[in-house]
Amino acid sequence: MYKNNIDFFKKLEQKYSDLRLSEKRVADYILKNSEDIINLSITKLAQKCSTSEATVNRLCHSIGFSGYGQMKISLTQNLAQSTLKTIPGDIKEGDSIISAAEKLKYCLNSAIDCTFKILNISELSRAIDSIFNAEKIYFYGIGGSGYVAEIAHHLFIKAGIFNTTCDHGYMQAVTAALLTRRDLAVGISHSGNTKDVVRALEIAKEKGATTIAITGNEESAIVRKADIKLLTFSKEEPIYGDFMEGKVSQLFIIDLLYIGILLKNIPKFNNYLEETAKAIWDKSYHEKDSVPPIASNPKE
Q: What is the mean pLDDT of residues 146-163?
A: 95
Angle between helices 97-117 and 244-264 in degrees, nearest 10 = 50
Q: Identify which of 37-41, 159-163, 275-279 has the greatest average pLDDT.
A: 159-163
More confident call, 137 vs 284: 137
Q: What is the pLDDT of residue 49?
A: 93
Confidence of residue 291 (pLDDT cuts 50, 70, 90): low
* HSE-up (13 A, CA, CB side) for residue 170: 0
Q: What is the mean pLDDT of residues 6-28?
A: 84
The residues, any chain, with a CB within 8 Å of residue 84's CB and separated by 6 or more, are 91, 92, 93
Mean pLDDT of the chain: 85
Are 13 and 36 in contact by the 8 Å Cβ rule? The answer is no
Q: What is the pLDDT of residue 2?
A: 40
13: left (phi over 0), alpha (psi -120 to 50) or beta: alpha
DSSP state of 206: H
User: CA geometry: angle at 149 spanning 143 and 151, to 5°?
Assistant: 115
Sketch out the chain's domains with CATH numbers.
8-80 (1.10.10.10), 107-275 (3.40.50.10490)
**φ/ψ (deg, to 5) at 180:** -130, -175
- Sheet hosting strand 210-215, strand order edge to edge: 164-166, 137-140, 184-188, 210-215, 228-231
- Residue 284: other Cβ atoms inside 10 A: 7
Q: How far apart are CA 88 and CA 237, in angstroms?
A: 9
Confidence of residue 4 (pLDDT cuts 50, 70, 90): very low
Query: H helices of 50-96, where?
Result: 53-62, 68-80
pLDDT digits 0-9 by tens, 112-152: 998 998 899 999 999 999 999 999 999 999 988 999 999 99
More confident call, 9 vs 277: 277
Task: Choose among 50, 241, 246, 40: nearest CA to 148.
Answer: 246
Are 110 and 101 in contact by the 8 Å Cβ rule? The answer is no
Q: How far apart are CA 245 and CA 155, in angstroms?
A: 21
pLDDT digits 0-9 by tens, 201-227: 999 999 999 999 999 888 889 999 999
pTM: 0.68
Q: Identify which of 113-117, 232-236, 276-280 has the greatest average pLDDT.
A: 113-117
